[in-house]
Amino acid sequence: MSEKSLYTATADTQSDNATKERPTKTGDGGEHHQLPDQTRLTTAQGIPIPDNQNTLRAGARGPALLEDFHFREKMFHFDHERIPERVVHARGYGAHGYFEATEELSDLTCAHLFQEKGRKVPAFVRFSTVAGNKGSFDLARDARGFAVKLYTEDGNWDIVGNNIPVFFIQDAMKFPDLVHSVKEAPDRAFPQAQSAHDNFWDFISLMPEAMHMVMWTMSDRGIPRSFRFMEGFGVHTFRFVNADGEGQFVKFHWKPKRGLQSVLWNEAVKINGADPDFHRRDLWNAIEAGDLPEWELGIQVFDDAFADAFPFDVLDATKLIPEEDVPVRIVGRLVLDRTVDNFFAETEQVAFCTQNIVPGIDFTNDPLLQGRNFSYLDTQIKRLGGPNFTHIPINAPKCPFHHFQQDGHMAMHAPKGRANYEPNSWKEGGPRADPDTGFRSYPEQVEGAKRKARPESFNDHYSQARQFYQSQTPVEQTHIADALVFELSKVKTPVIRDRVVSHLLLIDEGLANEVANGLGMSSMPEAATPAKEPVENLKPSDALSILKNGPGNFAGRKLGILMTDGIDDVLFEDLKSAVENVGGMVEIVAMSVGGIVTKDGKSVAADEKIDGAPSVLFDSVAVMATEDGAEALAAMLPAKDFVSDAFGHAKFIAYTDPAKALFEAAGVKETDNGMFKLSSKGDIDGFIAKLSELRFWDRISDGK
């Protein structure tokens, strides 16, 4: 073979190999290739790959090694797939605020912000969905990004987490595959911003380690009511390091002061149609109204002895540590008090990097975290145009910074004088390393054979998934089953559905049967073969349930009042005042955006017209109508939907007696203990007292 033919044979060879594969048809017209017939996986340089599941590391639990060229190439290419929007977390929304330490932690960490109770630092937070593009809707079923940038005295500290404490995969090597599977298929460019399709569940069904995260995303955690009402987690295990160089493991939690809350799936679908910017608008309106979103920073701190005795590996990002085992200690608070001045300059250009830590914080050998440390910096360089993205104001530290980095695309800062290197002997020779106050890594002993592998301690993929499911209320368990049935009903390849159910059998047999029945499966597949037998005696953890951690009040929530002309002035004002007195908000909905005129001739402006404000946008509703007004509303489909949806979504409902005509027209012919007829201030007090429960679940005992 000539030199030319030798180096141009690749494309032809690939084409020939492709024709040798024996695809089997799937139900959606695609092809499902069986593993034995696949061609050999190589790098872009043609080097054959022996293991596409694990990063090369020093020992099974050791740190990732920079020489893993396959991982670096794979992640490098993935990071650069899209420009200018983020490959993942493209749809995001941010706000400014501050973090205040409420505890002094010098015994645990030398991080400057924890050396004094009451110390404050500026903060910027970006919330996001993961799978959809910038133009997708807010209420997708998805994990939510919860990324916090703290501008400390020792540099920027980025806690780049999610609203779920675990992740789908254990090794960053699999991240491109995970995201490729959930994104739109490359041959058809759909579906987008959703996981209900063959590619995603095909991947998941072949990756048992993902089953714990699947339980979380299929739960109500995947469709939060508001950014303000969801938790945040650092996901990984990090280290605190004190001034003496002593280290302990730490996990980070953000606890919302307003409590946890989600929406029902039927609500999410309708909210996306009525207001695809629902979460954005909610955060903006809350800050503008002075109802400042706030979270408490909690930490779980534990030592090597606990880590060694814990049944699961603390370096495994698909696992959590129950709060009953290590209580969460509240050490600070995060308050968002200012919206951005320009969305692109701040929210779109903000660059979070997991590698951004400060003295007193350190990494562990979590293989997912190690890979993220490489990936994020590489991604920002590509997405923001070059190495000087730290010169953009939203990314620049607010403390003094000095270095010899120079030039490059869009350079805004450069060293002054002749010294642009170190060491040098010039009198004004620039900055020097400071061994006393500089960042010091925890001196962990590392040893082990250099190989691509995962430790045996990572092999239990079902126990904590079972624990999560068993920690939910019956209502929440029903929602998980319904979500799985819905998602898998969109999967057209039966064998994929079978594989998922085979995993569910190892989590909870009742759940597996409910999903199988919901899918109309004629027979139950055999349970999957676990790499390690699951632990069956893990105790439920109340902290894992949303309904067990509700707000206990109506503060920060919204009552939608549908009104007509001629309503009682005093009753309306009493209801409005009562809601506002408990920290809630009131929005007026009318047949016309011009509003209504009360019985005493007072004009009340409307916030929304009825066909633009369905009840799914509110946490609770009231209907205040006269007989003529109720008759007019009963002839309007949006008004009938307003009350039928509120009833069907188990919301507390207040109404004046004439409004019953609208309910009857909407098919709601009977009242229950979640409905309150308003005749006097005493009736309002009873309604307000129940609003703290948010839902009247007895109305739909199966939670649907």
The answer to whether the CB of 657 falls within 8 A of the CB of 625 is: no
Q: Which of 510, 504, 518 is nearest to 465 (CA)?
A: 504
Residues 6+ apart with CB under 8 A from 293: 95, 227, 228, 256, 258, 283, 286, 287, 335, 336
Q: How many CB atoms lie within 10 A of CB 354?
A: 25
Q: How far is CA 628 from CA 181, 288, 563, 635, 636, in A?
A: 55, 37, 12, 11, 13
What is the C-alpha to C-alpha distance for residues 695 and 198, in angstroms, rounded to an integer?
Answer: 34
- Is 162 annotated as catalytic? yes
Neighbour count for residue 518 (Cβ, 10 Å): 15
Q: Which amino acid is at 17?
A: N
Strands 596-597 and 603-604 come out as antiparallel
Residue closest to 659 by CA, chosen among 636, 645, 677 = 677
Q: Among residues 162, 163, 199, 356, which one is catalytic?
A: 162
Tell me: cis bond preceding 311? Omega within 30 of 0 counts: no
10 Å CB burial of residue 180 (0-12, 13-18, 19+) is middle
Q: Which of 519, 549, 476, 474 is nearest to 216 (CA)?
A: 476
Structure tokens that stand for 74 in this block: 């794979």
Q: Which of 389, 359, 363 is closest to 160 using CA atoms?
A: 363
From residue 564, alpha-carbon distances to 581, 628, 654 in Å are: 24, 9, 15
d(CA 202, CA 175): 15
SS3 label, residue 102: coil
Joined together, the tokens standing for residue 447 give 């040893």
**CA angle, residues 110, 111, 114, in degrees to nearest 5:** 100
Query: Distance between CA 620 and CA 561 in Å, rounded?
Result: 9
**CB 545, CB 606: distance < 8 Å:** no
| Active site (annotated) includes residue 180 | no
Residue 174 · residue 55 · CB < 8 Å: no
Local structure of 639: helix, strand or coil: helix
Q: Helices (DSSP H) in 21-68: which residue ranges?
A: none
Please identify which of the residues 89, 112, 197, 479 carries the catalytic annotation. Answer: 89
Task: Tell me the two tokens of residue 552.
Answer: 């206990």
Residues 518, 449 contacting (CB under 8 angstroms): no
CB 359 within 8 A of CB 156: no
Give the residue among 286, 338, 297, 329 at the shortest CA–CA distance from 122. Answer: 338
| Neighbouring-strand partners of residue 623 | 562, 655
Closest CA to 634 of 668, 662, 663: 662
Active site residues: 89, 162
